[in-house]
Amino acid sequence: MRVPGDKSMSHRALILGSLAIGRSRISGLLEGEDVLRTAAAMGAMGATLARGADGVWSIDGVGIGGLAEPDEVLDLGNSGTGARLLMGVVAAHDITAFFSGDASLRRRPMRRVAEPLSRMGARVVARDGGRFPLALTGAAAPLPIEYRVPVPSAQVKSAVLLAGLGAPGATTVIEPVATRDHSERMLRHFGADVTVTAESHGRRITLKGQPELRAADFTVPGDPSSAAFPIVAALLIPGSQVVIEGVGVNPLRTGLFDTLREMGADLALSNERVAGGEPIADIVVRHSRLRGVEVPAARAPSMIDEYPVLAVAAAFARGRTVMHGLAELRVKESDRLGAIAQGLEACGVKLGVSGDTLAVEGADAPPAGGASIATRLDHRIAMAFLVLGMAARRPTRIDDGETIGTSFPGFVTLMNGLGAKIAPVAP
């Protein structure tokens, strides 16, 4: 099987293609709701983006600094990535844009992005707590800054780097722990000068401002965060063997694979290669008996979106799995720590939350299941609990399947093709 294109890379490909000179062709783009919102926003600011009949997207970019003021509010739907990256883009243009999104996005913290962008000269007027809707007026002459990100966030890092494209001189981001580096890799792919050096406490990333980005072709690999769902389903369901082709295996994204292997998973990579500056592989996974493990906080950035489905796997394992350093889960599409705990408890799983640590007591057997899960506008909570339902003693129900389309269109058809029985039920 294959899973849809990587969400992080899809947003970045649309943005950088729109800021480059010439026509870029993007294959394998994730055509999920989140990414389509970013495409619409770039279109509203003057780039030309079109999907060919073959599914390849052509983008005619306007060049750095060439975006026009959008007539309408930029509605980023459910997408934190689209929202924060686009704030960085607008910050380096002499335009004003109004940003909003769905109820989930309007609850999420944006000050973490507004703060460094203000230092670069942008002006942001936001609701209480720095929340959407907000208005952002970019800087006519953005200033390069050196910025140490206070929270591990690839979105904040990327927003500053994207704004730095419009600033003269070097913009530097220092991150205490390495987060996904798709922006750094893709900026280079489009011709920017980005250097990364290891520091005693993290990484220093420097972008040379005002480059001429050149149009480039890019093939988006499968999203490891989407692959996580069929992978865990295969591990939990006796007799399973699944091969997922062409998945991105950037080491800053594969913390879940390392953790599952430590738990005893039969999970192997084959056919490893590099394309467009990103490592890719096929993943072969077989049903395995899992044991509980300790997951260190340092690993969290490399598997930040995978905790819902890891917690599901942990519920089936032998013994306790303790996951540390989960503070950021509170500010994702939902409060994921709360949603995981509530959902697992409803399915008969014993667990404890203490500060930013989650401990799940694995029963070495399928949990009861049988619960109705509140998905809280969160696609990954929805998919994680459907996977739990596939392997639990009784099926689970989720209150909203629509959100899955933000990151994994076709999830139900694909899982049913592997033998799942996911179907709509009358409300």
The alpha carbon of residue 250 and the mean position of all alpha carbons in its chain are separated, in whole angstroms, by 13
239: left (phi over 0), alpha (psi -120 to 50) or beta: left
x/- contact string, 18-57, with ligand S3P (CB under 6 A)? ----------------------------------------
Smallest gap from residue 279 Cβ to ligand S3P (A): 17
Residue 304 binding ligand S3P, by CB under 6 A: yes
User: Among residues 192 and 420, whose Cβ is nearest to ligand S3P?
Assistant: 192
Structural tokens at position 56: 């390849």
What distance in Å separates the CA atoms of residue 376 and residue 399, rounded to the nearest whole number?
A: 9
Residue 78 binding ligand S3P, by CB under 6 A: no
What distance in Å separates the CA atoms of residue 395 and residue 385, rounded to the nearest whole number?
A: 10
Tell me, yes or no, if 305 is annotated catalytic.
yes
Using the rule CB under 6 A, give the single segment among 152-160, 189-197, 213-221, 411-419 that binds ligand S3P.
152-160
Out of 223, 305, 306, 378, the residue judged to bind ligand S3P by CB under 6 A? 305
User: Among residues 29 and 284, whose Cβ is nearest to ligand S3P?
Assistant: 29
Q: What spatial distance separates the first Cα and last Cα of the chain, rounded to whole Å?
A: 31
288-to-98, 113, 227, 264, 313 alpha-carbon distances in Å:
49, 42, 17, 7, 11
Answer whether 3's CB lies under 8 Å from 247's CB.
yes
Out of 8, 10, 18, 104, the residue judged to bind ligand S3P by CB under 6 A? 8
x/- contact string, 324-343, with ligand S3P (CB under 6 A)? ----x---------------
Phi (first) and psi of residue 51, to 5 degrees: -95, 125
Out of 10, 18, 24, 81, the residue judged to bind ligand S3P by CB under 6 A? 81
Answer whether 387's CB lies under 8 Å from 314's CB.
no
Residue 154 binding ligand S3P, by CB under 6 A: yes
User: Among residues 112 and 287, whose Cβ is nearest to ligand S3P?
Assistant: 112
What distance in Å separates the CA atoms of residue 157 and residue 180, rounded to the nearest whole number?
A: 10
Residue 321 binding ligand S3P, by CB under 6 A: no
Residues lying near ligand S3P in the complex (CB under 6 A): 8, 81, 153-155, 158, 180, 304-305, 328
Report the catalytic residues: 305
